[in-house]
Amino acid sequence: MSRTAFDFAPLLRPNLPPAAVRYSGFPAFNFVGGHNDAATTPVDGLIDAAASVLMREGATLATYGLNSGPLGYIGLRQFLAKKLHRQAGITCSTDEILITSGSNQGLDLINQVLVAPGDTILMEQASYGGAISRFTRHGANLVGVALDKEGLQPDALEAAISNLKANGVRPKYIYTIPTVQNPTGAIMGPQRRADILAIAANHAIPIVEDECYSDLLWTPERPKAMKAMTALGNVIFVGSFSKSIAPALRVGYVVADWSILSRMLACKTDAGTGALEQMVLAEFCEKHFDTHVGTLNKVLKRKLDVLVEALGEHFGTAAEFEVPKGGIFLWVKLPDCVDTQKLAQAALKAGIAFNPGPEWAIDKQWGRPRLRICFANPTETALRKGVATLAEVCHREMGVPARIGNVALS
């Protein structure tokens, strides 16, 4: 019996994102997304944590919220309150922490509460592609602000605000990634953070501080969070376990004053983030978080060293970048003649996937010769072979680099 698929096309609401592509597995050299190192995933520790917490509290799965209320599992919020105080200087109660289904849900809730179509958001000129697409789908106007080796530039921020005010526009908030900026890897120093806080306070503009990568540092000390540096309550802090433990767990969190957190909670209509994930994370992290992250960061640092060495060997001076002091990605600029969106299409045919710069830039033309390479998930061997293969594709398609390294391709 033949069957014709029903045509939903005329019924679709306007301004939807493009249809998803059917999943067919990862390419051989997968340099995209926030995947992490598989070998350091703490599987044994998570198994022990799951058995322990389920034996002790498994019966609470019978109730929405695990008898902890709609903000999330109390054990996880208690761990976060201690962790954030110790590592980021944030003093908050458990009632100022909302557990979310990944940090992206946190951004969605912030936008549901604060942003109406046509509102303006200020952000770094290169920023998290998922935030750019989310804000755009929400109908926001995005204004990119220049950044440098230390992230968002205060002078450029002040100028952007003044220009908007001259045109009768008050930005709804400033979105920034101060610690291991995505995609540049920049780390904002204390004085820079203070300067931006002062600008935001002077213009009565809130700040959304996205700190999803701040645990992945190999510098001696994590900078104090912007939220910890002001008593105004105008900073909303967003964090995640996706990069420190495992991305597939889909557990993030928002820290904010109750006045705004209560409005976000009212918009969180999913009946709660996955309960088992929260219970297991709390049990594991209380005992093993610092040790695990320390081990993970050593592995990530080693993989970054391999990537930098491979780029130097196969691209030479054609690939420009600042070596980050943390994170899982490297932001690379190729010569201006390279269109990384076209390069990405050719590279995918050779089994290589990376993030083209325009997907991570407010000014698409500025992002055109740039790309983001995520190095956490591939093995060291895959990093070396992938970069060698990418250099060959780039040379063939774009004439860059001028010559190919001597490593045999396989």
pLDDT tens digits along 367-387: 999 999 999 999 999 999 999
**CATH node for 43-288:** 3.40.640.10
The label of the residue with tokens 């290169």 reads 126
Give the number of residues written for the chain. Answer: 410
Sequence ranges of the domains in the chain:
25-42+290-398, 43-288
Residue 278's nearest CA partner among 27, 34, 119, 49 is: 49
Q: What is the pLDDT of residue 16?
A: 85
Q: What is the pLDDT of residue 201?
A: 98
Q: What is the pLDDT of residue 403?
A: 66
Q: What is the pLDDT of residue 271?
A: 92
The whole-model pTM stands at 0.94
Which two structure tokens, joined as six digits, stand for 11?
Answer: 């019924």
Q: What is the pLDDT of residues 40-84, one digit of tens each?
A: 999 999 999 999 999 999 999 999 999 999 999 999 999 999 999
Q: What is the pLDDT of residue 408?
A: 36
Report the distance separating Cα 237 and Cα 349, nearest Å: 40
102: left (phi over 0), alpha (psi -120 to 50) or beta: left
Burial (0-12, 13-18, 19+ Cβ within 10 Å), 407:
middle
- Segments of the chain with pLDDT less than 50: 407-410
Q: Which residues of 304-321 are buried (b: 16+ CB within 10 A; e: fewer)?
A: bebbbebbebbbeebbeb
**CATH node for 25-42+290-398:** 3.90.1150.10
Q: What is the pLDDT of residue 5?
A: 85
Report the distance separating Cα 81 and Cα 65, nearest Å: 18
Q: What is the pLDDT of residue 243?
A: 94
**Sequence-ordered strand ranges (E) for 26-113:** 29-30, 97-100
DSSP code of residue 285: H
- Look at the alpha carbons of 120, 153, 330, 285 in this order and tell me if their dihedral is positive or negative: negative
The two beta strands, 252-255 and 97-100, are antiparallel
